[in-house]
Amino acid sequence: MTTVPREVRLAEPGQLTAPVRSGALRRGRRIRLNGGFAAMSLVTIVVAFLVLFPLAMLVFGSFWTARPGFPGTFTLDNYIKAYTDADTYRIFLTTVLLVGAKTLVAVTFAATLAWIVTRTDTPFRGTLEILLTVPFFIPGLLEAIGWIMLLSPNSGTINVWLKALLGLRATWTRRWRNPLEHPVPGRCAPRSR
């Protein structure tokens, strides 16, 4: 015969519950005040300040008629101007279409690679699995500089190669200056003596 411990009691017929200690429901979990908790609290406060203060100033500046710190009044004119402009909605539509297309391509590519890694006996599956996580660790700025160096109109590796292969030349004028191609004298490049 099986015996039921004394501290286990029947809540309803056929249902067992664990014992409830007196005071367990009244007291919350205690916070241990030690060096680790103090350091983590300090880091949390500093990071929260560094994130929330600029965000608050940005929101404040969007409602203020002058730059923050200068005399001005609260207004909704900035929002009215932005959301009554047709270009705003054209930009929203372009963004939605671009995000949708990129997501569709990325999900298709990722699902295919995930299937290859998990369901096939492809050689070097372990290496491929590790290499698939590498893009998560590359900063966006580094990626942007890499694409500029590959696709820049005059000195990009891919564009120079395609121009030479297809016999093309650029027929449009750039409106911006790429500091990697044409440094501004005296600013990006060292001054000559």
pLDDT above 70 covers a percentage of the chain that reads 73
| 178 φ, ψ (degrees, to nearest 5) | -90, 115
> Has residue 71 got a pLDDT over 60?
yes
What is the pLDDT of the chain when averaged over all its residues?
A: 80
146-189 confidence digits (pLDDT tens): 888 888 877 788 888 888 888 877 655 455 555 555 555 444 44
pLDDT of residue 125: 87
Confidence of residue 105 (pLDDT cuts 50, 70, 90): very high
d(CA 7, CA 191): 85
The predicted pLDDT at position 188 comes to: 46
Query: Strand, coil or helix: what is 15?
Result: strand
Average confidence (pLDDT) over 54-67: 91
Assess whether pLDDT exceeds 50 at residue 45. yes
pLDDT greater than 80 at residue 55: yes
Residue 178 CB-density burial (10 A; 0-12 exposed, 13-18 middle, 19+ buried): middle
> Which ranges constitute the DSSP H helices of 64-85?
77-83
Report whether pLDDT(102) > 50: yes
- Rounded mean pLDDT, 40-59: 95
Which DSSP state fits 74?
B
If one compares 112 and 183, the residue with the highest pLDDT of the two is 112
